[in-house]
């Protein structure tokens, strides 16, 4: 089952990357595809000329419960990090990072888990951790079980609007240090907001496995 889920994740990832690659060649528009469970996947708008990802950008660092003001354009808060306890923690762990983002500008911004987020685990950058199907399913089950309408980030945020959502994270069974990285203006600059994830601050929850 695990192999099947990982295969589905790779298929979804390949589709997402193909769409993004096509946009970077000059399409410059938004696309909407569907994931393995039939839900729409919002693909952000990509400019004709993308920023070089090797260009150094500014880094803004914070912790759980703190707010980052990004250049008076965005307020970004990592409200809580929930760990789902009823998974096989000997093999993996699932974290749900709940965030609130306020767009203080008059222009919309894109916010997509697959493209705008990643983790740094023990010094290694990892984009796959926020693209895992099993972690995504665990998040959906948890929020459905508590009758919450909260969704993973998968949309645009209009100018002047505030959005609360979550990032699902597939984590190893053990680590020393972990950070969640958010790149607000992906494709336009390489500035990053980096939240330090401390295990002692996690909230521990379960979901209904039925």
pLDDT at 3 (0 to 100): 44
Q: Could you say which residues of the chain have pLDDT below 70?
A: 1-40, 209-210
Which tens digit of pLDDT belongs to each residue from 84-99? Answer: 999 999 999 999 999 9
pLDDT at 39 (0 to 100): 56
pLDDT at 45 (0 to 100): 81
pLDDT at 42 (0 to 100): 75
The model's pTM is: 0.82
What DSSP string runs through 18-80? HHHHHIIIII-S-EEEE-TTS-EEEEPP--SSPPPTTS---EEEEETT-EEEETTTEEEEEEE
pLDDT at 95 (0 to 100): 98
Dmax (CA) for the chain in angstroms is 47
**Contact indicator for 162, 101 with CB cutoff of 8 Å:** yes
CATH fold, domain 51-205, is: Immunoglobulin-like (2.60.40)
Which tens digit of pLDDT belongs to each residue from 148-180? Answer: 999 999 999 999 999 999 999 999 999 999 999
pLDDT at 210 (0 to 100): 56
Q: Are strands 59-63 and 192-196 parallel, antiparallel or unpaired?
A: parallel
pLDDT at 18 (0 to 100): 37
pLDDT at 40 (0 to 100): 64
pLDDT at 24 (0 to 100): 35
* Gap between the Cα atoms of 22 and 10, Å rounded: 18
């Amino acid at each position: 089952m695990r192999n099947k889920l990982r295969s589905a994740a790779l298929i979804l990832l390949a589709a997402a990357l193909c769409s993004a690659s096509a946009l970077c060649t000059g399409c410059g528009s938004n696309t909407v595809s569907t994931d393995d469970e039939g839900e729409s996947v919002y693909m952000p708008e990509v400019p004709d000329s993308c920023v070089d990802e090797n260009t150094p950008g500014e880094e803004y660092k914070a912790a759980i419960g703190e707010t980052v003001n990004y250049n008076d354009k965005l307020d970004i808060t990592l409200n809580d990090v929930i760990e789902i306890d009823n998974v096989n923690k000997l093999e993996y762990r699932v974290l749900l990072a709940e965030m609130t983002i306020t767009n203080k500008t008059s222009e919309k911004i894109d916010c997509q888990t697959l493209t705008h987020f990643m983790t740094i685990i023990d010094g290694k950058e990892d984009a796959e951790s926020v693209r895992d199907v099993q972690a995504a399913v665990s998040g959906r089950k948890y929020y459905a079980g508590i009758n919450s309408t909260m969704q993973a980030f998968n949309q645009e945020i209009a100018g002047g609007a505030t959005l609360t959502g979550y990032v699902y994270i597939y984590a190893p069974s053990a680590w020393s240090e972990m950070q969640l990285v958010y790149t607000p203006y992906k494709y336009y600059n390489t500035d990053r907001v980096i939240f330090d994830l401390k295990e002692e601050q996690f909230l521990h929850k379960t979901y209904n496995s039925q």
